[in-house]
Chain A
Amino acid sequence: AQSVTQLDSQVPVFEEAPVELRCNYSSSVSVYLFWYVQYPNQGLQLLLKYLSGSTLVKGINGFEAEFNKSQTSFHLRKPSVHISDTAEYFCAVILNSGGYQKVTFGTGTKLQVIP
């Protein structure tokens, strides 16, 4: 079975500074990878996804993530954060093995942008 690890439960960062949110996964087969964002008192919104092809994936709100197969990682980055980026971010994985596969979510990373 697959698993997702988000080592950082909270990440404080000053406004306009860069940020990286880490995500590692384990799986015996290839996977699809996702990052979701959850703003306070809201549901989850898809930020970006890796299905195949280029390992650098660009998403909404200036975020990007890089798939590294050898390190089984899918870290999320933004070169300059804004106050509005304060939210919780979830990494998720789905097995690429055909048919319906369940989504496995990481435990989330709370990004706090400091003015």
Chain B
Amino acid sequence: SAVISQKPSRDICQRGTSLTIQCQVDSQVTMMFWYRQQPGQSLTLIATANQGSEATYESGFVIDKFPISRPNLTFSTLTVSNLSPEDSSIYLCSVKAGGLSYNEQFFGPGTRLTVL
């Protein structure tokens, strides 16, 4: 298993600004994921972030809007840029458990973003 922490836990931001979310894992992991959970909806994968390579974005998500850094095997950041009220969501960091042949994922507590 893996213990994941996220900062901040919540934030209220003004339209047009940016928010950077940090994700810290207590063990080294190869694959990290960023999800968005819009109000009343399920989780949507934003991108997969592997250490040492560019993040892979899902359809509908672009690097200019959601730049991701992955400087080492225990840390990643997601920036949500040029914020609009539609970006109000919970953003979750997730990692793939090591040593498993299937993709069991563990999730952080999430960052609740409100854009005014």
Instruction: Decide whether A and B assemble into one complex.
Output: yes
Count of interface residues, chain B, beta-carbon cutoff 8 Å: 20
**A42-B109, A46-B106, A96-B102 given; 11 more Cβ-contact pairs under 8 Å:** A41-B110, A43-B110, A44-B43, A44-B107, A45-B107, A90-B42, A90-B43, A100-B103, A102-B103, A105-B42, A108-B41
Over the window 78-108 of chain B, the binary record of Cβ atoms lying under 8 Å from chain A Cβ atoms (1 yes, 0 no) is 0000000000000010001000011111111
* B107 touching A101, Cβ below 8 Å: no
A96 to B104, CA, bound (A): 12
* B42 touching A44, Cβ below 8 Å: no
Residue from B42, B104, B109, B110 in contact with A46 in the complex, judged by beta carbons closer than 8 Å: B104
* B102 touching A101, Cβ below 8 Å: yes
Residue of B nearest to A101 (CB): B103
- In A74-109, which residues have CB < 8 Å from any B CB? 90, 94, 96, 98, 100-103, 105-108
Residue from A44, A90, A94, A105 in contact with B103 in the complex, judged by beta carbons closer than 8 Å: A94
**Neighbouring A residues of B92 by C-beta, 8 Å:** 43-44
A100 to B48, CA, bound (A): 11
A8 to B108, CA, bound (A): 26
**Neighbouring B residues of A101 by C-beta, 8 Å:** 102-103
A5 to B17, CA, bound (A): 36
**Neighbouring B residues of A45 by C-beta, 8 Å:** 107
Over the window 1-30 of chain B, the binary record of Cβ atoms lying under 8 Å from chain A Cβ atoms (1 yes, 0 no) is 000101000000000000000000000000
* B102 touching A51, Cβ below 8 Å: yes
Q: Give, as a whole number of angstroms, the nearest-CB distance from A108 to chain B.
A: 5
Q: Give, as a whole number of angstroms, the nearest-CB distance from A8 to chain B.
A: 14
Q: Give, as a whole number of angstroms, the nearest-CB distance from B112 to chain A.
A: 7
**Neighbouring B residues of A107 by C-beta, 8 Å:** 41-42
